[in-house]
Amino acid sequence: MRHVILLCFSLCSLMTACITTPTQPVPVASEPLRGDEKRIQGAWVVIHNEMSHISTPELEGGIHIFFGRQFRLDTDTGSEAFRIDEESDPKRIDFDDGHSSLIQGIYKLEEGRLTVCTGAPGRSRPTTFKTRFGDRSVLTILRRAPSK
């Protein structure tokens, strides 16, 4: 009986992880930066990161840098475009390196804290700020880096 329960739980988890709701990518903006695009500019320090509901503390302390409509990690030499839609609920963010599949996500920006939850490349956009085992989504919580 215990094996049947574990099998059912595993199947339900797998099926839940595979349920997706496709959404359109955030359109590319051409006008000057405004709203959250302006507020997100600068360096942010990772204070929590998890992938598929598994904490990744080795990424804590990393720096995410937003400049113009570009994004990069402090360890990267290149950058990728990011696009946001602050009119949606939850707010949407997409990352596009121009080579790999689009990474779709959601974000919230509040009082010096930025929370971003993204699906795996090419996968659908998350609808909540949670990850689940096996879904390859990533939740990152950042705080604004102190000014130098």
Residues 43-60 have a mean pLDDT of: 96
Residue 21: pLDDT band with limits 50, 70, 90? low
Q: b or e along 33-55 (b: 16 or more beta carbons within 10 Å of the residue's beta carbon)? A: eeebbeebeebbbbeebbbbeee
Say how many domains are in the chain: 1
Q: What Rg value do the Cα atoms of the chain yield, rounded?
A: 17
Q: CATH no. for residue 63?
A: 2.40.128
Domain, as residue range, for 77: 2-144
Residue 77: pLDDT band with limits 50, 70, 90? confident
pLDDT for residue 115 is more than 80:
yes
Instruction: Output the pTM of the full model.
Output: 0.82
pLDDT for residue 97 is more than 80:
yes
Greater confidence, 78 or 14? Answer: 78
